[in-house]
Amino acid sequence: MTSAIRTLSFDNHKQTKIKHSNDYQHAKDQQVVPLIVHEFARASAEMPIVFVKNAETGEFQAVALLGLSQNENLFYSKDKWLSSHLPALISHHPFALIPSQNDENQLQMVLKEDSHLVSKTEGDALFDDDGNETEYLEKRKNSLGRYFENSHVTSAFVKQLNDISLLSQQNLSLELNGEKIAINGVYLVDEKVLNALSDEDFLELRKKGYLAPIYNHLNSLHQLSRLAKLKSEK
């Protein structure tokens, strides 16, 4: 745990406030951001959804593609987020849930203290004078808790795709102002494999509610042109 990340507590943060801001500068260099499956429908209308593989663990993760090159977020603007959908992980900043140092099965809420949203003078307080959590903090905790639960659902969804060999590594390419841009190392659902699934495997996907997010993902790939438009405008 870095010095900027600190366990949330009254002793540590009795004077801490969180400012309201439409400047998501903490995400300005994020080319990809993890998504939970519950976001697929909204996100797919504005940003490509792809899968990436952790080289160390071999596990796959669903992400929204926010830029066409490394450290580029085309949806970021100082004035506003250039999309009606803000990925949940970005909205949770400067809070996070991480495993406890004493017990990995227990979660602890932490605060990124060097965030531009953290203040001593303005914003929503985290604790009252008696050390009780404010309504604001309770809402943020509940939101994080739901996200954590939904992330398990998403992990099961992605694992199922991998288990039945639906994920295929592909290279995406598009042309912008006469220049070819390649995005390598991403994984997509292979439609040929999907259409060739056994009745048993296809029915399993339907029973688990996985067909809708699969088609959300496939339809979202049309949003590569939106990224190209945003890049040309910038």
Confidence category of residue 1, pLDDT binned at 50, 70, 90 = very low
CA separation (Å) from 186 to 64, 110, 169, 191? 11, 31, 6, 15
Please, what is the average pLDDT of the chain?
93
Assess whether pLDDT exceeds 80 at residue 70: yes
Confidence category of residue 3, pLDDT binned at 50, 70, 90 = low
Confidence category of residue 2, pLDDT binned at 50, 70, 90 = very low
Confidence category of residue 177, pLDDT binned at 50, 70, 90 = confident
- Dihedrals phi, psi of 160, to nearest 5 degrees: -65, -40
- pLDDT (0 to 100) of residue 56: 87
- pLDDT (0 to 100) of residue 48: 97
CA separation (Å) from 113 to 1, 89, 202, 222? 12, 17, 47, 38
29, 71 Cβ separation under 8 angstroms: yes
Calculate ∠ Cα 57-167-154, nearest 5°: 65
Q: What share of the chain has pLDDT > 70, as a percent?
A: 98
Mean pLDDT, rounded, for 2-22: 90
Q: What is the pLDDT of residues 44-68, one digit of tens each?
A: 999 999 999 998 888 999 999 999 9
Assess whether pLDDT exceeds 50 at residue 81: yes
Q: Whose CA is closest to 66, among 174, 183, 152? A: 183
- pTM, two decimal places: 0.92
Assess whether pLDDT exceeds 50 at residue 176: yes
Q: What share of the chain has pLDDT > 90, as a percent?
A: 82
Q: What is the pLDDT of residues 88-124, one digit of tens each?
A: 999 999 999 988 777 777 889 999 999 999 999 999 9
Radius of gyration of the chain (CA): 20
Assess whether pLDDT exceeds 90 at residue 73: yes
The ranges assigned to domains in the chain are 5-228
- pLDDT (0 to 100) of residue 179: 80
Query: Regarding predicted confidence, which is higher, 179 or 87?
Result: 87
